[in-house]
Structure 1
């Protein structure tokens, strides 16, 4: 049985369907039940060697062929197929007391030109990742309304509004819930007024509470990020990041490096650094190599993609990209540095402020930054001629004024006796 629910239709938002799968055993009793929503963010290479982001979501033509109940010796399997050759599955194992998800297998088909236009690699691509689900007591239903995500091999999988139970006994879904960590409340719930807790208002006049001035947002902490190709470091980055979102009202968001993980791709002519701050915020920086002359090759920042999700229901709050940058330009084999604040204009509603930036996306040696080419903002030496020039100009003005005053006194003429 499938329950399809259209959740978003606005351009730039995920379009996702809720899927309900009820797997039956030979006696037509429920043995595996699941209801959830999911979407995928996939970075793929185009024929021009650039990288693009594609969003893939469940469509209305979902099937669940191949799902099996499982038993004490065989794993249960929940499998769905959707769209133009895409599929997703997860297997469950159990002990005498618990069950848990083991591995997720996801296959996306780049022949689906509606999702992957101009993809360089054609055909199905499969990734297998370890699920992070904790063991759940048998007969308990696992519930997780908040958004969870798993990243691997240029794919980020998002899950939310999840309800499932594997190895259902006697065909009856359990009544007791096991909640995910994200759903566990961290503070006491708000108590709403009722007849029992409403008290009579005092006649004493109270002074109005003082108006609190919001604290200015401090500069973000600097994070250190790196990518590896095999055992070799292929990209290094040091940067403090701050998002300036102004869709409804201005909002400054500092990216916390302590909760941020780095993923991405390294190549000879293109590289992408993907940052996930652990709070449903994803930032992709794409760098490319250009030939400045026959013997000089340089790299620069070409594209930035930002996705902000609602961590409760998984919907996209903001999805923006700019693929027409020409920033952070430096010679290939060196690093680019800019300690002062810089601003990247993604679109009218989003800016990224960078602090203490140093980046090297190509030809990293011995896990260290190469010699840095500094931005003009950091070059204090240009201030010296400016200051000297201003001082000389001021001195010339003083001399001219003094000369004019002296000449006026010289031609004052004879005074009448």
Structure 2
């Protein structure tokens, strides 16, 4: 991706008072608001997050483009996007057959839940359409760049017009990692050619995309960052119609991936802390990954850049609550055991996980386990485990931890105390295990050789 020249604003961003198309009558003088924009005869709405629906055609289906202009508290643009998209979904019928459904944007699109974002909270671009379908993407930023993180798509098989005779009823949600490269802050990301993402029997198509997250001072940038597909020699955009999507079943546009999915990378390690009366009372350093196992396993890395920490500290109990900025909440509760003994220890007793729909706040998944005895260490020390560990919350949800170090009690000078390491990190235990296994194998070989030798010797003598 390279930065291009300043883009031509009239091609994508309408002026404050657009002129009518050639041949159309000019609006009457006076206070009459213009009815024409550069995209067609649509009156521009005055709202905090303006959504313009543009009617076009692509093959047999109607294709609506979406324009979202999210405003901040001062009514300045903070997130802008204009794009077109379509979905190809493979679903199971009541007769155990599989059908392909095409889901396009309808005219009743809303934008509830879109937010500006800031240095600590992810920006969110969200739309809802049709009979209970929704799509969203969140953006994170650094000091110099911004990029898309995860795309969340929810489709409702109760929509019988799109999913006739569907065996599974109700909303189905998939989350995929976006492949967008980091974009320089104050640059506009543009991709006219068709791009697609495949996951869990769903292919998402995008084209004619223009967006900018974390808009500065309410002004859309003047430089473009182009996608790799928009090269000078690239072919023009081919809109995904019934014909070319169906015939693409033998190419990379197949709705069911034939290649193994790319492995999810280990999550980044986040550093979290709690304070009580301006004194640090809890320290945690950990990389977290959620493993949701419903129809297919789904791995979700918790991004520490957008995750905030809250909770409570106490003498015998402490709770660390993590909010990843994308409606995912994880609570870790620690308690002290043998409180009256001379040697006291702490351990992880309970974990609660809640996943919400960031569009309407409804609960997607809620799971808890209050019967743990993990991460045990002496009070006043920290617990450390560099290797991957797994917390079984229930039959649907697991949490994988990486590079863990935790101290929920008696933190001094805002630093971890001496660590008690987990057995997984103790490599010295491998040596006696390997030596013991080798000796056991040698003994077995000697015994077998002895038995075989005795049998042969016995068979060699004959009775006279």
Q: Give the TM-score, by structure 1 length.
A: 0.50
SS in 2 for 1:182: coil
Q: Secondary structure at the match of 1:171?
A: coil
Q: Is the 8 A contact 1:296 1:331 kept in 2?
A: yes
In structure 2, relative to structure 1, the CA distance for the partners of 1:59 and 1:403 (3 Å cut) is closer
Deviation at 1:213, TM superposition (A): 3.5
SS in 1 for 2:239: coil
CA drift of 1:334 comes to 0.9
Deviation at 1:281, TM superposition (A): 0.8
Partners of 1:271 and 1:288 within 8 A in 2: yes
What per-residue deviation string (whole Å, max 9, x for no partner) do you get for residues 140-163 of structure 1? 999999999999999999999999
**1:278 and 2:325 correspond:** yes
- Residues 323 and 279 (structure 1), Cα distance of their counterparts in 2 relative to 1, 3 Å cut: same
1:309 corresponds to which residue? Answer: 356
Matched-pair contact (CA < 8 Å) for 2:316–2:339: no
CA apart distance, 1:272: 0.9
2:36 alignment counterpart? none
Are positions 1:12 and 2:12 aligned together? no
Q: Is the 8 A contact 2:90 2:256 kept in 1?
A: no
When residues 200 and 300 of structure 1 are mapped into structure 2, their CA distance, relative to the original with a 3 A threshold, is closer
- Quote the offset at 1:299 in angstroms: 0.8
Q: What's the offset of the Cα at 1:335?
A: 0.8
Provide the rounded CA distance (Å) in 2 between the counterparts of 1:304 and 1:90.
27
User: How far did residue 273 of structure 1 move?
Assistant: 0.7
1:268-310 alpha-carbon deviations (Å, 9 max, x no partner)? 1111111111111111111111117621111111111111111
Q: 2: CA distance between counterparts of 1:61 and 1:270?
A: 50
Helix, strand or coil: the match of 2:351?
Answer: strand
Which ranges of structure 1 fall in alignment gaps of 5 or more residues?
A: 1-8
Deviations 1:226-261 (A, max 9, x none): 111233211111111111112454211000111111
Tell me the distance in 1 between the aligned counterparts of 2:285 and 2:265. 18
| Separation (CA, whole Å) in 2 of partners of 1:312 and 1:243 | 21
Q: Does 1:136 align with 2:180?
A: no
- Summarize the Cα distance change of 1:90–1:391 in structure 2 as closer, same or farther, 3 Å threshold: closer
CA distance in 2, matches of 1:117, 1:203: 25
Aligned partners of 1:300, 1:314: CA distance in 2, in Å? 32
Shift of residue 380 of structure 1? 2.1
**Cα 1:280/1:269, change in 2 over 3 Å:** same
Bigger mean CA deviation after superposition, 129-138 or 327-336: 129-138
Deviation at 1:110, TM superposition (A): 41
Q: Could you say if the C-alpha distance between residues 51 and 369 of structure 1 is closer, same or farther in structure 2, counting changes exceeding 3 Å?
A: farther
Q: Which moved more, 1:173-182 or 1:333-342?
A: 173-182
Deviates more, 1:166-175 or 1:208-217: 166-175
Local SS of the residue matching 1:202: helix
Higher mean Cα deviation, 262-271 or 369-378? 369-378
CA separation in 2, counterparts of 1:199 and 1:51?
14
Matched residue, 1:190:
237
Deviation of 1:379 after TM superposition, in Å, equals 2.1
Q: Deviations over 1:308-343 (max 9, x none)?
A: 111222222112222222211111111111122211
